[in-house]
Amino acid sequence: AQSVAQPEDQVNVAEGNPLTVKCTYSVSGNPYLFWYVQYPNRGLQFLLKYITGDNLVKGSYGFEAEFNKSQTSFHLKKPSALVSDSALYFCAVRDDNTDKLIFGTGTRLQVFP
Amino acid sequence: DAMVIQNPRYQVTQFGKPVTLSCSQTLNHNVMYWYQQKSSQAPKLLFHYYDKDFNNEADTPDNFQSRRPNTSFCFLDIRSPGLGDAAMYLCATSRDGRRGNEQFFGPGTRLTVL
């Protein structure tokens, strides 16, 4: 069965520092991986996805993610964090059998000034 | 701008009083989804429509129903809301069911049950 794991409930980083939000996945076929961000009392916003091709995927708001097949990871990164990046981040994988999105448990990112 | 719209943004209802949440989209997407999200947990899929084809999740309570009268609109009906149904309800769309297509979410409706 497909699954994603976000091992950190919360990540704290100082503004201007690089940030990483971790995600590992388990799939039986080719992975279709997504990152979403959720601000308080808002819906989820799509950040980026990996389907095939380059392992480094660039997305919205300066975020990028690195697909690593050998480590089955898809970590979200940003070179320089902003206070406004503080939000809840969800990693998701598309289920091979049902095409549904399977979400991780979410990681709360807190960027301190 | 093309978007997913949910109304109302906040809904208060009484225990057992039926409530309807609405979702509309200007993206002309074929697939529409309803999710339930509780207190910063991962969204839980309730059901989805591929065009007019309705797909119910096995663990979605019978208390939850949905209608999609046309491509643009989709409704979530909660026939007899309980306290445990208080949550954020998210509507999402995708162009089609292909695995590489991302889903576009509306802002959500926060339901309070008194």
pLDDT per position as a tens digit, A40-73: 888 999 999 999 888 999 999 999 999 999 999 9
Under an 8 A CB cutoff, do A43 and B100 touch? Answer: no
Under an 8 A CB cutoff, do A41 and B108 touch? Answer: yes
Is B42's Cβ below 8 Å from some Cβ in A? yes
Which pLDDT score, from 0 to 100, does residue A41 have? 84
* Angstrom distances, CA of residue A87 to CA of A9, A40, A112: 12, 7, 12
d(CA A41, CA B74): 21
Q: Kindly state the tokens that stand for B47.
A: 């059901």
Which pLDDT score, from 0 to 100, does residue A52 have? 85
Nearest-CB residue to B102 (from A41, A49, A96): A49
Nearest CA in chain B to A45: B105
Nearest-CB residue to B42 (from A34, A94, A104): A104
B53 Cβ neighbours under 8 A, 6+ residues apart: none
Q: Looking at beta carbons, which residues of chain B come within 8 Å of A44?
A: 43, 90, 92, 103, 105
Is B103's Cβ below 8 Å from some Cβ in A? yes
pLDDT band at B105, cuts 50/70/90?
Answer: very high
d(CA B26, CA B3): 6
Q: Tell me the residue type at B87.
A: A
pLDDT band at B1, cuts 50/70/90?
Answer: low
Mean pLDDT value across chain B: 93
d(CA A18, CA A27): 29
> What distance in Å separates residue B97's CA from the closest CA in chain A?
7
Tell whether the model's pLDDT for residue A94 goes beyond 70. yes
* Angstrom distances, CA of residue B46 to CA of A22, A68, B51: 27, 32, 16
> What distance in Å separates residue A74's CA from the closest CA in chain B?
16
